[in-house]
Amino acid sequence: MIYTKEIRNITIAFFDFFLPRFCVSCSAKLNLDEDIICNNCLTKIEIATQARLTHEYQKKFKDHNLISDFFSLYVFEKDKELQHAIHALKYNNKFRVGVVLGKLLGAKLSKERFNWQIDLIIPIPLHQLKKAERGYNQSYYIAKGINSILQKTINENVVRRIRYTQSQTTMNISERKENISGAFKIRNIDKVKNKNILLVDDVITTGATISECGIILKNAGANNIYAASIAIAD
């Protein structure tokens, strides 16, 4: 074990010398023990406390009784370390940001939400045009990171996004609800019926996207629906 770790470190040191790796957030050169984001940036990102999560659950999900519980790792802040990392994940082909942050999220879930009985992990799907444009679904890589810890099943095809929706960043909650309404469809009801499902997204803002996915999953007979994201935003 130590032997393989040493080999890994030597290999990374070798490549770092010729092809240095840089933090996606601050562009500093990464140390051997750092991956994608430097420790300095990671420690600056605000952690979502349980008090904050409880407050956000009341605000975003309590009314419609669809989402049994949710968890986010961080609080999203504009022009800060996490925004730079998520921007790189979504727009600069840095899909490994999703895996690395997803692993941290998975580790937290296994400790702080060990009571969730999850059968299936579903990343919030992108419309196929958007996926083609970006080349990948960032939430799928977050789900992969989570699943490297939780060891469940990921299904990225069972929910389909059938409408190409406008970017929601400038919309208020009712506009977002309207925008996302009817955007998803279940491909195979048998795959979700009676299942406990974890929905995964990069950032949960109003909760409208998660709730819309929750509605169609519940209509298809899903059991408990949970949600997890890298960050929570106002």
Residues 6+ apart with CB under 8 A from 131: 125, 137
Contact criterion met (CB below 8 Å) for 170 and 230: no
In whole angstroms, how close is the CB of 161 to Zn ion at the nearest point? 32
Count of all residues that appear for the chain in the document: 234
Binding site for Zn ion (CB under 5 A): 23, 25-26, 28, 38, 41
Nearest CA-CA partner of 11 in 26, 25, 21, 23: 21
In whole angstroms, how close is the CB of 46 to Zn ion at the nearest point? 15
- DSSP assigned state of 62: T
Q: Which is nearer to Zn ion, 84 or 103 (CB)?
A: 84
In whole angstroms, how close is the CB of 24 to Zn ion at the nearest point? 8
- DSSP assigned state of 30: P
In whole angstroms, how close is the CB of 30 to Zn ion at the nearest point? 8
Q: Which is nearer to Zn ion, 28 or 162 (CB)?
A: 28
Q: Which is nearer to Zn ion, 12 or 154 (CB)?
A: 12
Q: Which is nearer to Zn ion, 42 or 120 (CB)?
A: 42
Residues 6+ apart with CB under 8 A from 9: 32
